[in-house]
Structure 1
Amino acid sequence: MLRVGLTGGIGSGKSTVARRLAELGAVVIDADALSREVVEPGSAGLAELVERFGEGILDESGALDRPALAAKAFADERSRLDLNAIVHPKVAELTARRMAEAPADSVLVHDIPLLVEAGYAPNYHLVIIVDAAEDVRVQRLVGRGLGEQDARARIAAQATDEQRREVADVWLDNSGQVEDLLARVDELWRDRLVPFEENLRRRQRAARFGPSLVDPDPQWAAQARRLIARVRRAAGERAVRVDHVGSTSVPMPAKDVIDLQLTVRTLADADALADSLTEAGFAHVPGGELDTPHDFAPEPEQWAKRLHIAADPGRPANLHVRVEGTASWRVALIFPAWLRADPAARESYLALKRRVAEAHADDTDHEAYALAKEPWFADNLPKALAWADSTGHTP
Structure 2
Amino acid sequence: MSRRVVRQSKFRHVFGQAAKADQAYEDIRVSKVTWDSSFCAVNPKFLAIIVEAGGGGAFIVLPLAKTGRVDKNYPLVTGHTAPVLDIDWCPHNDNVIASASDDTTIMVWQIPDYTPMRNITEPIITLEGHSKRVGILSWHPTARNVLLSAGGDNVIIIWNVGTGEVLLSLDDMHPDIIHSVCWNSNGSLLATTCKDKTLRIIDPRKGQVVAERFAAHEGMRPMRAIFTRQGHIFTTGFTRMSQRELGLWDPNNFVEPVALQEMDTSNGVLLPFYDADSSIVYLCGKGDSSIRYFEITDEPPFVHYLNTFGSKEPQRGMGFMPKRGLDVSKCEIARFYKLHERKCEPIIMTVPRKVRGWAGLQGGRERSSHALQQNTLETLLEQIKALREQVQAQEQRITALENMLCELVDGTD
Q: TM-score, normalised by structure 1?
A: 0.25
Richer in helix (by share):
1
Q: Which has the higher contact order (CA 8 A, sep 6+)?
A: 1
Bigger radius of gyration among the two: 1
